[in-house]
Every structure is written in C-alpha cells, then in structure tokens.
Amino acid sequence: MANLKEIRNRISSVKSTMQITSAMKMVSAAKLKKAQDAITAMRPYANKLTELLQSLSATLDGDSGNNFATQRDVNKVMIVAITSNRGLCGAFNSNIVKESIRLTNEDFNDANNVLVTIGKKGHDILAKSQEIALNDNSVFDELTFENVSKIAEYLMERFENAECDKIILVYNKFKNAGTQLVQTEQFLPIVPVETDTTVNLDYIFEPSKAEIVEELIPKSLKTQLFKAVRDSFASEHGARMTAMHKATDNATELRDQLTLSYNKARQAAITGEILEIVGGAEALNN
C-alpha cells in the first residue's frame, strides 16, 4: 500500500501543477490580447515615421540636425538586448541571449562591445560574461512611451558623444501567439533608404528640411525603441501562453498515466488480498 500512497501523492502533485499552468495560460492569454492590439495599432505609424525620417536624412549629409545619421568607423558597438523580467516562457529569453552573444563573438568580434539590457532575465545571464552599460528592469512594470523614452535618450546621448559607433536592437518580434521571431535591428546610425532617382522629391518644406529632421529624429528613434519593447512584451505573453499550454497538456498526460498505474497497482493489491483470503479458507477446510 506504500506504493499506492506514493502514486496518489504524485497524482495530487501533478493536478496542482495543472491548475497553476492552466491559470498562467489564461492570464497570459488575457494580457496577450491587449498587448497584441497595442503593437498591431502602433506598427504602421512607427514604420512610416521611420521610413520618412530615413528618406529625409539621406538628403541632409553634413547638415546640422543629422548627427544621428553620421557613419563612423565601427570601433565600439552597443547591443540592446530586450528580454523579460519573468521566466516560464520557453526559449523566449534564451534566444535573445544567444543572439546577443553571437553578435559580440561573430559579427562584431573586432569591436569593443558593450550591452544595454532591458529585462531581468537577460541581464542575469549576460552580466556573467559581458560588460553591461545600463540595465532597466522597471520598464515593464509600467510600459509607457515616457519610460522607454528615457532609455532612448541615453542611447542617443551615447551615440552623439561618440561613446559608441553603432547601436543594435535585439528583441523578439511578435508574429502570432505561437511564433516569435528574433529580430536584429540597427538603431543608430540611421540607415538612409535607397531612393529611386527618377522619382521627383521636390517638395516644399516648412519649416526647413533640416529643422524638420532635427525635431522629428529624436521622436522617431524613441518610437522605434518603444515599438521594439512593445513587440517583445507581446511576444513574451504569446510565448508564455504557448509554454503553459504545452505544460498543461504534458501534466494531463502524466496524470492519466499515473492514474492508470494507480488502478493497476490497486487491482493487483485487491487481487492479492482475495488470494490470501481464499488460500486461508482452503487451509481451514483441509
């Protein structure tokens, strides 16, 4: 009967785990809907603003107000790794960590690399082997444009002061609840788009083109970073919902297997007791 008690305890433990994973799945599903709506609504605006600024910046080489498009020799690279503060979301965080390490060891191995981490999980791992210039875990506590703007201002200041020559964002881009794509995106310097020279771009700008760019580039960069953080936030809940769904399915399968084992063991115990009773009765008759 000790074996039966052990199986009962395991079944009870698995059922408790099922309740937790199922509840976490539902919580992530509720949060995912809001986060998905936010990033879906923001993407067209952010992409169009970035495209506009890239087009304008391409025509302002050497002008004031175009400092963020300055191309320098890449001696120092800053990599911004965007992860989450919590785990239990599959390979969501580890994929960002692996890509960040790959960038430092392969793509920019000749440069002096430094990292900025957004999210506790990425910082805990990367801080063991990489130089961390800035870590911000609080941005996900209240995910607003103002909070993300502070990080963007820090990145822009470091680039303007020539403390780094290139800034790369590494984050999970949200595709759907079951798919998150690791995205590597250049934040600074701004990459000018290749425009078709046959297209007439003789517009009248008011105020001047340089003033427009000088005013809008900081806003565009802040929006670009905010979009990346929003993408990561939606991807986190999608990854956690998927992970908890799989965990619940696995726990259900394990519970069924344990229940079957329990029934077999119980049946064997009952059969053994019956055989003992029958054997005892036969002994008395003889």
Catalytic residue among 60, 89, 156, 247: 89
By C-alpha distance, which of 180, 184, 174 is closest to 102? Answer: 184
**Which residues lie below 8 Å from residue 209, measured CB to CB, with a gap of 6+?**
56, 59, 60
89 as an active site residue: the answer is: yes
The Cα angle at residue 192 between residues 215 and 53, in degrees rounded to 5: 25
By C-alpha distance, which of 144, 145, 140 is closest to 233? Answer: 140
Q: Which residues are catalytic?
A: 89
